[in-house]
Amino acid sequence: MKNRLVWSILAIVFGRLVINISRRFPYPFVSAIGASFSVSADSIQNVIALTNGAGLLSPILGTIFVHYGRKAVMVGVLVFMSGISLLSALFANYGIFVVVMFALGVGKIIYDPTIQAYFGDTIHFTRRARVMGFAELSWALSLLIAAPVAGFLLDSSSLQAVFLFLSIMLGAGALAIWLVVESDREPGHDHPIRVVNPLTAMRAVSAHGPAVAALAYSLCLTLSHEIFFINYGLWMEDSFDLLLTALGAITIVIAVAEVIGEFIVITVADRFGTKQTSMYGMLVAAICFFIIPYLNFSLPLAMFGIFVMFICIETAIVSALPLFTEIMPKSRAVMMSANMGAHSLGRVAGAALGALIYKFSEGNFLLIGVVAGVLGLVAFVVMRRFVPSDGQSAA
């Protein structure tokens, strides 16, 4: 049984890895993808923004597995994403590309809360951070895989080859889960799964103090990070006269930082406490937001500050996930979907707010660091004072 669970986790994480590759592969190749459709780079960036905005639907769609069971939804989502990727592989059309990318984004917002609830149900809390941290490695690793694989396929073939690759790998993920993961729908039991009304579910979350605090933490964390993240490249370009190739190389540094943050959660969070790990990760990240703008005299120091900041942000995000699965343990689907919605709202609002601050302050990166730092401190205080400690069910 233990071996079966290990194989189930591996199959589920493989599925998430491929989903994350589908989400991250366009970022380094915006110009090349635009050229393949004879559209501007801005048009591809807008498609990426639309894909990110799909996360706002998470509170509505992320609870779908309550109706059909976790395994069925995981398999169904991967099959759907495989089919939709094949559509884009067969037809080199910009309109189809837009629809496919949004559909892939929708698939992710259904799959992620499903696996988080699955881990919450099957993994004991004392080991949950280790497992969920391992699952989150798929986010950082996806960028390390997506960049060289998509780059090779785009260079040697076409964008359609990238989607064919995604279709095959997503289908393999669906097959692995279908073969390995045990069904969570018990045969012979005639107890219907209660339909979740999204509005009723959100009212339940809003009436639950610790759940509101958890969502406020996720929102402030993501706002602070996105405000900083959307502007740091411009600041580095202005401060150090970096070439685009050098800025692209920073992507690898960020991916390595994300991997380290996830390994910190895997190795430390269960022993130190998921609340403490998340809370202090956020505190150090907030301090970095304040300090980094003053490092414009040294590229190595600026890179080191950004490296540490990304480690801490990833640690704060990932270690909060197992903690939040226990806030409303009888409604994990609702809680984790709402949490994904809070992160998505933070990304969309943070990107817009960061752009506005940069524009109206005429590129004052010190102000951007202060705003991001203050929001980070607010997240720290919210976690410290209002979110229950590890394993303390608040439902």
CB 338 within 8 A of CB 56: no
Cα separation, 38 vs 40, in Å, equals 7
Domain 198-386 has CATH 1.10.357.10: no
Residue 161: pLDDT above 90?
Answer: yes
- pTM exceeding 0.85: no
Cα-based distances in Å from 208 to 64, 326, 395: 21, 13, 8
Residue ranges per structural domain of the chain: 2-180, 198-386
Query: Dihedral sign, CA of 54, 58, 59, 60?
Result: positive
Mean pLDDT of all residues in the chain?
86
Q: What is the pLDDT of residues 188-212, one digit of tens each?
A: 443 444 444 555 666 777 788 899 9
Question: 381 pLDDT exceeds 90?
Answer: yes
pLDDT tens digit sequence for 125-136: 888 888 988 998
State the DSSP code for 21. H
In this predicted model, what pLDDT tens digit does every residue of 286-339 receive, in sequence order?
Answer: 999 999 999 999 989 999 999 999 999 999 999 999 999 889 888 787 888 888
Q: Which CATH architecture has domain 2-180?
A: Up-down Bundle (1.20)
Question: Alpha helix locations (H) across the chain?
Answer: 2-24, 30-37, 41-53, 58-61, 65-68, 70-90, 94-122, 125-156, 159-180, 198-206, 209-240, 244-264, 270-272, 274-291, 299-324, 332-360, 365-386
Which tens digits make up the pLDDT trace of 9-52?
999 999 999 999 998 888 778 778 888 899 887 788 788 878 87
Domains 2-180 and 198-386 share a fold: yes
Cα three-residue angle 351-353-357, rounded to 5 degrees: 120
